[in-house]
A and B are shown apart, each in its own frame.
Chain A
């Protein structure tokens, strides 16, 4: 256990950035708080909850997977050392979820794991929920990590952070000159933060009720079709989701040939399942909306004994028509 004075944070990140690409929450020119490479925005000490989760550092919106140049075909992987500061506990759970999915059945995604193995996650636990839509407590989790999936976990102790390492990579980070030894009282402080933190943007009973109804197939097509009348098919909920990994693949020309790229896709788009013949096995928007929630709250639970929602509330933050997880879970819970 070490401590880091808050004014030392930038110095620490600068030290790390000599050897690695560092992402941390920064404001862009429009004032949006985003995980950007150090120096690409301005820091104001706010860690907050970035609208797009730390997924973007690992599974970017668009990336090359294959290059065709002349007769040569090469697989593209990006293994640059990357350190991300400001990963929220929900984001980290999302990453652990993606790790399992991206390596399931021994089909290990080389593009994902090249980045993942070169990535160091510096998690910042939440004393207070960063926004009113946070509901990790309702998913049975807490706004800090107990299992050591993180490399470093920071606890906010006012004018300084208390840092705990969860891996060898994390231990190396804590060796940086900006850290100081922790005192006896810091152990007590972490304990108190843990006891007092929660994020209850959704009542726990609602989520349990919705999960049960979905498991029992009590939510019918008409329910979804009615809700889907509001959906504008923007795909925003999937893009910001820490566990959504569906992607599309397309080829683009470049000066030596073609790049095959994958980019975020969403099951809410009508073309997502449409086949060349024109046949679409998921033909209506209601069926697509149902798919999104059944996947996360029913099928993931069946397969992994864990729902595919980390309770970050980003979909509810971003949806322009109020069809995020919080609203949908509430609608299901209200059903007779």
Chain B
């Protein structure tokens, strides 16, 4: 039985977890926090380079690992940001941790959004709930290189005014002339919401999209896709121009454990971002 020593081995971020320290914890809405992480080993931090839409396996020794999408853009290196909902064993253990505590990270994994393809084109980003977490990475990738992309529309649907993620960060986008930011809440019991009330598909009336020049990036709960895709297709945008980020139980991240299989694909290596045209006829995909 040979245990490879971490120091002696070449940096392997795929199969070997590396210690990372929690640098900052930023509370979002109830039960959601943004964790800023940094690899303890500088070599690992330097080697870690990701694209928007990719994910990491966040491990806590004795508890396990969970796949979490990256919320930080590749344009801002040195820190790994993950937006986490307290839900299962690993995320609950993570919520008991504070600044300075260590986790074990592997990654980044999977196919993200292809920014090379998007360059020079108009973009529609549609997020539902926690689906904003990976799209925030794409959003800031675009905003940090704004001139390289065309028109930008972000639609974000939440359950209620209290459930808006990155509320203050995104508020600053409202005044930007170089993008359109549309928000919706499913319900507003207290009558405090000044934006659209209703499901996110209602926002499509408010935008004009150039079907021949627009790419769409979607991330949200499973139920959202069918309805949002219908609206996009109504705007005469080709299925080939729609990209969806799917969620499955991605245990290993390297296409081996089998839990995230969708038809002939593995969500963790062929996805989590898929071209809609590629998977619309694949069983169990949407």
Interface on A for B, CB 8 Å cutoff? Answer: 64-68, 71-80, 101-102, 104-105, 107, 109-111, 114, 245-251, 253, 257-258, 260, 262, 265, 267, 272-277, 279, 281-282, 287, 291, 294-295, 299, 302-303
Contact = CB atoms under 8 A, between A and B. Distances in A.
Contact of A78 (B1, B65, B255, B257): B1
Q: Is the interface of A mostly helix, strand, loop or mixed?
A: mixed
A253 B6 CA distance: 20
B121 interface: no
A111 B257 CA distance: 13
The 9 closest A-B CB pairs, nearest first, are A246-B258, A276-B88, A68-B61, A299-B264, A74-B3, A258-B62, A276-B87, A75-B16, A258-B61
Contacts of B5: 74
Interface residues of B, number: 46
Contact of B252 (A105, A249, A282): A249
Given A245-B256, A246-B258, A273 B15 contact: no
B257 A262 contact: yes
A283 to B, nearest CB: 10
B62 A253 contact: yes
B233 interface: no
B97 interface: no
A277 B256 contact: no
Contacts, number: 122
A67 to B, nearest CB: 6
B284 interface: yes
A304 to B, nearest CB: 10
Given A75-B4, A274-B249, 5 more contacts: A74-B4, A79-B2, A102-B256, A249-B251, A251-B62
Contacts of B14: 107
A71 B19 contact: yes
A35 B131 CA distance: 48
Nearest to B268: A107
Given A68-B104, A73-B104, A107-B255, A249 B64 contact: yes
Interface string B239-272: 0000000011101101111111111100001000
Contacts of B65: 249, 260
Contact of A249 (B18, B102, B257): B257
Nearest to A79: B2
13 contacts: A71-B102, A72-B6, A74-B5, A75-B16, A107-B14, A246-B259, A249-B65, A257-B61, A273-B260, A274-B249, A281-B222, A291-B284, A295-B261
Given A67-B3, A77-B4, A276-B88, A291 B261 contact: yes
A171 to B, nearest CB: 27
Contacts of B256: 101-102, 107, 109, 245, 247
Interface of B: 1-6, 9, 12, 14-19, 59, 61-66, 87-88, 91, 102, 104, 222, 247-249, 251-252, 254-264, 269, 283-284
Q: Max chain B CB contacts within 10 Å: which of A71, A281, A303?
A: A281
Nearest to B222: A279
Contacts of B64: 249-251
A272 B259 contact: yes
A17 to B, nearest CB: 18
Nearest to A278: B87
B254 A107 contact: yes
Contacts of B254: 107, 109
Nearest to B1: A78
A291 B66 CA distance: 24
Contacts of A257: 61-62
Contacts of A71: 19, 102
B247 A76 contact: no
Contacts of A265: 257-259
A248 B249 CA distance: 11
Given A251-B62, A251-B63, A287-B284, A75 B255 contact: no
Contact of B248 (A253, A262, A281): A281
Contacts of A249: 64-65, 251-252, 257
Contacts of B262: 281
A66 B14 CA distance: 12
